């Protein structure tokens, strides 16, 4: 059965258009999508710090990225530091990383729907990111999401150019979806 095109077509490219900017209504749609994600007891742990290329926030998020990510993320239209709030007025929030993940996936799929590309990065200095923006002790950075417009693959270093159009690969469902007993596949082959 056919997958939804937003899921089938999403990938994590590195070729961003260095001249593209995101309009305010686009930014609103991205974070509105994130806002409507499910979360444990509707605790809504997702928090975001957003830099737009050319502004000071973008530069400070960029500065904490690993050098390998900086080579291409420099051309993104936005760098979004995604963090999880671990407590609220009722105490510790359960499943905060899960909740943030759902919110980020909503953002990513909304971006795909708008013709944008996204690339999530765990490769950054988490402590430096927390310091750079004065995150409270109970707010933990998790990923930076580069968001932008598809650009010229030729602007990437040769090794990254090859990866841009490489086939996406996944484990077969027979290795990950079981029934009856662990390791017994629900579905024959995928």
Ligand X SMILES: Cc1cc2nc3c(=O)[nH]c(=O)nc-3n(C[C@H](O)[C@H](O)[C@H](O)COP(=O)(O)O)c2cc1C
User: In which order are the strands placed within the sheet that holds 117-121?
Assistant: 46-52, 78-85, 139-148, 117-121
Contacting ligand X within 92-131 (CB under 6 A): 120-123
Contact predicate 147/111, CB 8 Å: yes
Percent helix, strand and coil across the chain, each to the nearest 5: 40, 20, 40
- Which 66-85 residues touch ligand X, going by CB under 6 A? 69
Q: Which residue is nearest to ligand X (CB)?
A: 123
50 versus 104: smaller Cβ distance to ligand X = 104
Count of residues that interact with ligand X, criterion CB under 6 A: 9
Q: How far is the CB of 91 from ligand X (least distance, A)?
A: 26
Nearer to ligand X, 41 or 68 (CB): 68
Pick between residue 7 and residue 38 the one whose CB is nearest to ligand X: 7
- Asked if residue 41 binds ligand X (CB under 6 A), the reply is no
Q: Are 148 and 76 in contact (CB under 8 A)?
A: yes
Question: Smaller CB distance to ligand X: residue 90 or 171?
Answer: 171
CA angle, residues 110, 146, 173, in degrees to nearest 5: 65
Chain-centre distance for alpha carbon 188: 32
Compute the distance between CA of residue 44 and CA of residue 26 in angstroms, rounded to an integer.
21
Nearest residue (CB) to ligand X, 12 versus 161: 12
Q: Which of residues 131-170 bind ligand X (CB under 6 A)?
A: 143, 168
Report, in Å, the least distance between residue 11 CB and ligand X.
4
Give least dist CB 90 to ligand X, A.
27
Least gap, CB of 181 to ligand X (angstroms):
29
Contacts (CB under 6 A) with ligand X, residues 3-32: 11-12
62-66 long-range contacts, CB within 8 A, separation 24+: 63/128, 63/132, 64/124, 64/125, 64/128, 64/129, 64/132, 64/144, 65/121, 65/123, 65/124, 65/144, 66/121, 66/123, 66/124, 66/125
Closer to ligand X by CB, 132 or 144: give it: 144
List residues near ligand X by CB under 6 A. 11-12, 69, 120-123, 143, 168
């Amino acid at each position: 059965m056919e997958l939804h095109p937003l899921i089938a077509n999403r990938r994590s490219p590195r070729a961003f258009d260095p001249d593209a900017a995101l309009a305010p209504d686009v930014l609103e749609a991205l974070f509105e999508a994130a806002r409507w994600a499910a979360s444990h007891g509707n605790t809504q742990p997702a928090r975001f710090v957003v830099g737009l290329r050319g502004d000071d926030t973008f530069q400070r998020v960029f500065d904490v990225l690993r050098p390998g990510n900086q080579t291409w993320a420099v051309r993104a239209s936005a760098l979004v530091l995604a963090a999880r709030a671990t407590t609220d007025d009722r105490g510790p929030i359960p499943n905060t990383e899960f909740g943030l993940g759902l919110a980020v996936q909503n953002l990513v799929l909304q971006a795909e729907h708008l013709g944008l590309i996204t690339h999530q990065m765990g490769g950054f200095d988490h402590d430096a990111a927390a310091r750079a923006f004065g995150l409270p002790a109970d707010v933990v950075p998790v990923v930076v999401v580069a968001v932008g417009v598809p650009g010229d693959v030729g602007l990437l270093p040769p090794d990254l150019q090859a990866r841009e159009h490489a086939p996406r690969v996944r484990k077969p469902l027979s290795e990950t979806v079981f029934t009856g007993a662990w390791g017994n596949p629900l579905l024959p082959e995928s």
